[in-house]
Amino acid sequence: MFSSRTLVLTLGIAFIILDQWVKLIALVALNNHSYVYGNQSVWLDLALSLNPGAFLSLGAGLAPWLKQLVFVVAVGVVCAWAIVWAWRHWQSAPVKASAAWFIAVGGLSNLIDRVFRDGHVVDYLVLNIGTLHTGVFNLADIAIMAGATVLVMDGITRPSKR
C-alpha cells in the first residue's frame, strides 16, 4: 500500500510529466496557430509564447548570466528547499506542506523548460474576462499560483500566535 508521501511524490512526478507533455503539444500545435474558446464575456486564448522572463516577463531583459543565476540557480534552490520542507512537515502542517509541494512541482517543471529550451518557459494560455486578461501562463504556473494562494489564505485566516 502507498504511504501518503509516496502517493504525493508519484502525483508530483506525474504532474511534471503531464505539464511537459502539454508544453510539447503546445510547441507543435500552436507554432503557427492560435485558438479561442468561449464567448464574448469569457474566453480562453491558446497561443504559444516562449517566455524569457518570469511572471509577466519580469526579468526578461536581464544580462544572460544574471538570468541564469536567478531563473535557474535560485529557482532550483527554492524548489529543493520547498520539497524538503514539505516532506518534513507533511504530518505536522499538511496544508502548508501541500502548498509548498504545489509550488515546488510547478517550479521544477518550469525549470526543466529553462534548462532545455534556451532559457525560455513555454506558455500558452490567456484567460480573458471582458476587457481584462491575464498574462500568458501554463499548467505549472497554475500549480505555483494555487500553492501561493493557499499559503496566503492560510496566513490570513489562521489566528496569530502571541
Q: Which residues are catalytic?
A: 123, 141
Distance separating alpha carbons of residues 84 and 107, to the nearest angstrom: 14
Region class of 57: left (phi > 0), else alpha (psi between -120 and 50), else beta: left
Task: Supply the DSSP string of 33-55, one letter for each residue.
Answer: --EEEE-SSEEEEEEEEEESSSG
* C-alpha cell at position 4: 501518503
Give me the amino acid identity at 76: G
Furthest-apart CA pair in the chain: how many Å?
57
